[in-house]
Amino acid sequence: MRPWVLRFARRKDELHEELRAHLQMAVADRMERGETTDEARQNAIREMGNLPLIEDVTRAMWGGMWLERVLQDMKYALRQIRRAPGFSVTVVVTLALGLGATVAMYTVVDRVLLRPLPYRDAGSLVKIETMTSNGGSPLIDIEEWQARSHALQSIAFYDADSSNAHLAFIEGKDESTQVAEPHVSANLFPTLGVRAAMGRTFLEGKGGAVREEDAHTLLLSDTVWRGGFGADPHIIGRVIRVSGESFTVIGVMPRGFTFPYGIQRSAVWKPIVPVAADMTRKGDETPRHDTIARLKSGVSLSAAAAELKGIQAGVARQYPDAEYRAHVASIRMQRYGDSLVNEDVRKSLLALGGASGVLWLIACVNVTSLLLARAAARQREIAVRGALGASRWRIVQQLVIEGLMLSVVASALGIGLAMLTLRMFEHGLKTQFHIYTTLTPNLRVLGALLVLTVMSALVSSVWPAMAAARAAIDPALREGATQSGTGRRQHRLRGLLVVAEIAMSLTLLVACGLLLRTIYALRHVPLGFRTDHVMVANMSIPNYKYAGRDLYKDLYGPLLGRVQHMPGVDSASLMSEVPLGQTFNIVFSFGDGNSSAVDLRRGKIRAKASGVTPDNQKVFGFSMLRGRFFNNGDTATSTPVVVVNREFVREYEGHEGDPGEILGTPLLGSRKEKQPVVVGVLDDERQVAVARPSQAEIEVCLPQVTPGSMFYEPAGMAMDLAVRTERDPAEMTPELRRVLREASPELANSTFTTMDQVVEDSYGSQQLAARLLETFGGTALVLCIAGIYGLLAYLVTQRTRELGIRLALGAQRGRVMGMVLWQAGRMLLCGVGAGLMLAYISVRLLHTLLYGVTAHDPWTMVAVTLMLLTGGLAAAYLPARRAAGVDPMEALRSE
């Protein structure tokens, strides 16, 4: 910019000098011909004509004229902005609020809904799911699809259902690194359209699975290669140890590649080599794989889904087990990108995005209204410029540039606000929408901001500018014209804008009110346990190290003992998953039994299982309905015992009876030789989400979980450490981490949180939506009140003279005040009416977020309406009082 401006200035000087030289030569010539100095000078000047005009026209030849004009307009605009700082600040802040909210929401939408997947032509990748518990299919079925489908180009499969179940440790010299380890088929990479950046991917065998000779090979992600192996160029062919097994590295995947999408960046991919069970259809004994396929080009999703449904109907007939046949009878096909975003999340995001858009509109309407008022006030100035020869286009251009400058400042401020909003809501956004990258506006968002800025400048300045430029010059120039004003049309227009603003604000406020009621309802759901002063460590367990050993005796027990003796720790316990933790889920179900009617019913029970230590009740304060909780007498050698909850008893007994009946019952099928006995019944509690009722639960005593027992394997996959302590979590975390590291170095990777935070997170999308809508709604309310105030204050100023005359003629001051208030009341009533209709239609978008309140809750509507009416009338009161206080003499004299 700078050199350009300098060059421009130099050229301008040169042109000036060129013309002066011309003039001097002309004068010299004339003097030579005998004219006097004065004569020569006068004649030469006359002959040359209007010098500044010539300079202007000549400069136009340089091609940068428009820029010069823009610079001129900018200078002028700056002067205008400085002259009315209140107005400018209002406009900038209003726009910044609207833009800030929109950019923040757009950043989130961009991250969650529009994220570009790192695969070739990701739009034609589809995920295929059956109705089985994990949605997977046996290899034998997949092979049949591959053989018979014409709509799918290739069908690949992988195992990566739960992020925790597939954690592995790459063993280094000193410390192990924790990585994700999805198992994948060989044809996955060609299906995704991705090649290894170095080396190769797996060799493809029958059905797309990996060939036997690659059974002990491994692919590394770029992050692992760089972080774990220092980007070693000779990594291919090296043998590394992963969770106790040796693998040969055959390839490194390109930077940015990840699969399944959303797993942590450090990952290794292991091969799926078919085993004998893969060729069976025996219910849960047959491994089931997640399936991803690529559509042939030109084939639509629905056509492919229809074809595969047809094929699957035939496949299902080959299942011997009737119940299982029902699970696999049909399939669901959706785009892979869509499968990553849960429907509720998508809906709530769109609702929030819509809300921020509405806020932006309100901001624009407000600014348009402000600029309209200002254009009216500046009509005289604009008329003068018109009279001096400025073209209408030029006047519009100048006003647009003024608008643009205001919105550029506003967008700088808006970015700041957006970053602030994102930081404020960072935790909620990340946990709710599973965003693992930093939330800063990226280039795309900045681009969107630019578009929004230009749009808001255009929307909010073109309209008033056009109105101003269209106005006839003549009447505006006449004396007193400002009083007779800008005509009813413009007032009505501004009135309409304010009505629209009220309507939109009401909609936002209703949405906000509904969510606040939801949060209130959620907070008053009895959880069934205490959450205060409990720290939680979600441990990553290096279970491979304990193969052939007793995990409790060698790791959990000693670790727990050490934690319990840490200073400041009241009690500590281990639990497969803390309530509402949403990290790991073990499902317990009874075996087939002897298929009596009772056994059939009990066979359907799907209970949440977890292994806990006896101190768990001290930490969480669960209440016992009947019997006892585990105690230190329950050891590996004593009778195995379990504790169940009330819901479990309900389902087990099949009726609402005394929950105590179940005490002492040996539970079927848990273990052949030593059947565990129920010793206690817990009261119901919230385990999965605050809004979800209690589900059947069975707890086993961890010290009794020894190698060979049915809970041994799951107990080694995930474990939470819960600690009751009065100490500050921030201060406690490093100490806990040290103790964990001493127990086993890998445990240092554990994540720490508090139970209060876990509960807070489980309010989840509602909490986040409520907070965001509070912000949006509050802003909207302020803007709306500012809009009403601005319009009325302006109208009163415009009508000072008229009001003065009315008062002079004997009008009651009260009547005058009522008149102004009525004007506000009319706008408010119209706005509220329109807003209620708008709200009635649009809150339906929110219904997935609501809990304990209906979408059309009348109380919320009434409360919000009253709030807006009160706010609006309060805003009108000041101008109304000013109107009533007009001094007739002064008003008339000022003319």
Give residues in contact with another protein (CB under 8 A). Answer: 14-15, 17-19, 21-22, 24-26, 28-29, 46-50, 53-54, 57-63
- Based on CB atoms, which residue is closest to another protein, 42 or 90? 42
Q: What distance in Å separates the CA atoms of residue 767 and residue 758, rounded to the nearest whole number?
A: 13
Shortest distance (Å) from residue 36 CB to another protein? 19
Q: Which is nearer to another protein, 62 or 436 (CB)?
A: 62
What is the nearest approach in angstroms of another protein to the Cβ of residue 12?
12
Cis check for the bond before 260: say yes or no (omega within 30 of 0): yes
CB closer to another protein, 13 vs 673: 13
CA–CA distance, 803 with 784 (Å, rounded to integer): 26
Contact predicate 627/678, CB 8 Å:
yes
Least separation, in Å, of the C-beta of 389 and another protein? 17
Q: 244 with 544: CB under 8 angstroms?
A: yes
Select 4 or 520, whichever has its Cβ closest to another protein.
4
Distance, CA of 733 to CA of 752 (rounded, Å): 7
Provide the sign of the torsion angle of the four alpha carbons 171, 173, 175, 180, taken in this order.
Answer: negative
Q: Where is 184: in which H helix or E strand?
A: strand 183-184
Nearest residue (CB) to another protein, 61 versus 276: 61
- Residue among 34 and 49 whose Cβ is closer to another protein: 49
Nearer to another protein, 9 or 78 (CB): 9
Cβ at position 45, least distance to another protein in Å = 10
Cα diameter, the chain = 136
The C-alpha angle with vertex 573 and arms to 567 and 577, in degrees rounded to 5, equals 135
User: Helices in 114-239 by DSSP H: which ranges?
Assistant: 139-148, 188-192, 222-229
CB 73 within 8 A of CB 406: no
In 378-486, DSSP assigns E strands to none
Nearer to another protein, 15 or 435 (CB): 15
Q: Using alpha carbons, select from 511, 384, 448 the residue that is nearest to residue 845.
A: 511
Strands 239-242 and 183-184: unpaired
Give the nearest distance from C-beta 41 to another protein in angstroms. Answer: 15
Residue with smaller CB distance to another protein, 8 or 712:
8
Reference 239, options 221, 220, 258; nearest CA is 220
Q: Which residue pairs, CB below 8 angstroms and at least 24 apart, start in 432-439?
A: 432/345, 432/764, 432/765, 432/768, 433/108, 433/111, 433/112, 433/345, 433/349, 434/262, 435/108, 435/111, 435/112, 436/262, 436/264, 436/265, 437/111, 439/107, 439/108, 439/111
Q: Which is nearer to another protein, 61 or 147 (CB)?
A: 61
468/491 Cα distance (integer angstroms): 14
Q: Between 67 and 889, whose beta carbon lies closer to another protein?
A: 67
Instruction: Report d(CA 658, CA 667) in Å as an integer.
Output: 18
Residue 10 C-beta: closest distance to another protein, Å: 12
Least Å distance between CB 51 and another protein?
Answer: 8
Q: How far is the CB of 65 from another protein (least distance, A)?
A: 11
Distance CA 18, CA 12 (A): 10
Residue 605 contacts residue 696 (beta carbons within 8 Å): yes
CB of 880 to another protein, least distance (A): 60
Question: Minimal distance in Å, beta carbon 27 to another protein?
Answer: 10
Nearer to another protein, 53 or 472 (CB): 53
Minimum CB separation of residue 49 from another protein in Å reads: 5
CB closer to another protein out of 25 and 387:
25
Rounded to the nearest whole angstrom, what is the least distance from the CB of residue 31 to another protein in the complex?
11
- Contacts of residue 521, defined as CB under 8 A and 6 or more positions apart, other chains included, come to 851, 852, 853
Spatial distance between the Cα atoms of 654 and 648, rounded to a whole number of angstroms: 10
Q: Both tokens of residue 402?
A: 């003024």
What does the alpha-carbon distance between residue 549 and residue 86 come to, in Å, rounded to a whole number? 75
Residue 84 one-letter amino acid = A
Q: Which residues pair with 775 in a beta bridge?
A: none
Q: Closest Cα partner for 469 from 387, 417, 395, 373?
A: 395
Residue 820 tokens, joined: 């102004």
β 607-612/586-588 pair status: antiparallel
Q: 895 vs 382, 804, 829, 889, CA distance in Å?
A: 21, 11, 35, 10
For residue 723, the SS3 value is: strand
Return left, alpha or beta for 151; rule: phi > 0 is left, psi -120 to 50 is alpha, else beta: alpha
CB of 786: closest distance to another protein in angstroms? Answer: 51
Choice between 18 and 321, CB closer to another protein: 18
CB of 40 to another protein, least distance (A): 14
Closest approach of another protein to the CB of residue 14, in Å: 7
Nearer to another protein, 17 or 39 (CB): 17
Shortest Å, Cβ 22 to another protein: 5
Considering beta carbons, is residue 19 or 113 the nearer one to another protein? 19
